[in-house]
Amino acid sequence: MSKKILKSISILLILLMVIGIISGCGASKNDQTKPQENSAAPQDNTRQQKGTGYPLTIKDQMNREVTLEKEPERIISLAPSNTEILFSLGLGGKVVGVTNYCDYPEEAKSKGKIGGFADPNMEKIISLKPDLVLATDMHQKPVEQLEKLNIPVVVLAPKNIPDMLNSIEIIGKATGKIAESQKLVETLTERIKAIENKVAGIPQDKRPKVYYEVWPEPFTTAGPGTFVNDIIEKAGGQNIAGDAQKAYPEYSQEMIISKDPDIIIFSHHGTSKQTAEDILKRSGWENIKAIKDKKVFYVDENIVQRATPRLIDGLEQFARIIHPELFK
């Protein structure tokens, strides 16, 4: 084969390689993903600027693009839910700061404290020299302050179980724990499907009516746009507040009685000391079906109100309460 032909082939191969690289970069730049709605499968919301590794750009749950120059080694969490996800992905060793309310898992309690959820101490956060801060949509001012200091902040704002799964994947991608996050999401999704498959054959009008009590004075429940509402529906129940106009409506006693729930589940927090026995003895409630059948149950608020993998524990517990005949 002549040198001229060999030279032509070499040039052709180089051209093909260049075209391939340009095409790959073009696909990366055009990767625009909408937030999840109905699918439990997490979205692909990471754009890597150099093919693999760092730097990379992530789109968080507020549609913000956040660029990470390197793999985070010093992470601060501004919410208990974010902290739980970090530990579930094996990132506890990289966590240098958490809120006063980050109490799970047990190891989280020993981490440096950066203040409350609503009022994090900015001086303390800055002094810990984080290379990644995980915030929520309640942290607008802290996020703006940290951005001015060029500290990467990823904002998580899950409203339902699919969003929570997406949060896990976002954190996994940001921290280099992609495989671990995908495995965790797959496991959780399988557990969700196992519940949904068991209750799938129950007609809507045959599903028990559930009243979930967040707080007893005034009576406060969980409506649409909450994890509790999502859990009740996936567990094969009907949320009596599913048609409410806001996420956490206050109901009068008369309204609760008129809706006549089949099951009452409560998760009082803070200083409330009421028990199932107290609810069963409430004056005027004696004709509610749940009271007559003594179907009043307590569930830990942290497994049904925090956006963490433990939401699936809450889903399984609700399913056993709502349909004991299916989940013995």
Segment 22-25 long-range contacts (CB within 8 Å, at least 24 positions apart):
24/51
Based on its alpha-carbon atoms, the radius of gyration of the chain, rounded to whole angstroms, reads 24
Query: How far is Cα 109 from Cα 103, in angstroms, rounded to an integer?
Result: 5
CATH T-level fold of 38-190: Rossmann fold (3.40.50)
Please, where in the chain does CATH 3.40.50.1980 lie? 38-190, 202-322
**Do 128 and 97 touch, CB atoms closer than 8 A?**
yes
DSSP bridge partners of 135: 155
Contact by Cβ (8 Å): 215, 272? yes
C-alpha 10/C-alpha 20 separation (Å) is 16
List the one residue out of 19, 36, 117, 21 whose CA is nearest residue 76: 117
Measured distance CA(263)–CA(248) in Å, rounded: 19
Q: Which amino acid is at 197?
A: N
Would you tell me which CATH number, out of the four given (3.40.50.1980, 3.40.50.720, 1.10.10.60, 3.30.70.20), belongs to the domain 202-322? 3.40.50.1980
149's tokens = 């200091």
Both structure tokens of 114 = 């950066």
| CA separation for the pair 214, 221 (Å, rounded) | 5
What is the chain's pLDDT, residue by residue, as a tens digit (328 residues)? 444 443 443 433 333 333 333 333 333 333 333 333 333 444 455 554 443 489 999 999 999 999 999 999 999 999 999 999 999 999 999 999 999 999 999 999 999 999 999 999 999 999 999 999 999 999 999 999 999 999 999 999 999 999 999 999 999 999 999 999 999 999 999 999 999 999 999 999 999 999 999 999 999 999 999 999 999 999 999 999 999 999 999 999 999 999 999 999 999 976 678 999 999 999 999 999 999 999 999 999 999 999 999 999 999 999 999 999 999 7
Q: 210 — phi, psi (to 5°)?
A: -115, 130
The reply to whether omega before 208 is within 30° of 0 (cis) is no
Can you give the pLDDT at residue 45? 55
- Taking the C-alpha atoms of residue 275 and residue 56, their distance in angstroms, rounded to an integer, is 50
Going by their DSSP bridges, the two strands 75-77 and 132-136 should be labelled as parallel
Question: Per the structure block, which two tokens stand in for 89?
Answer: 């992905």
List beta partners, residue 213: 221, 266
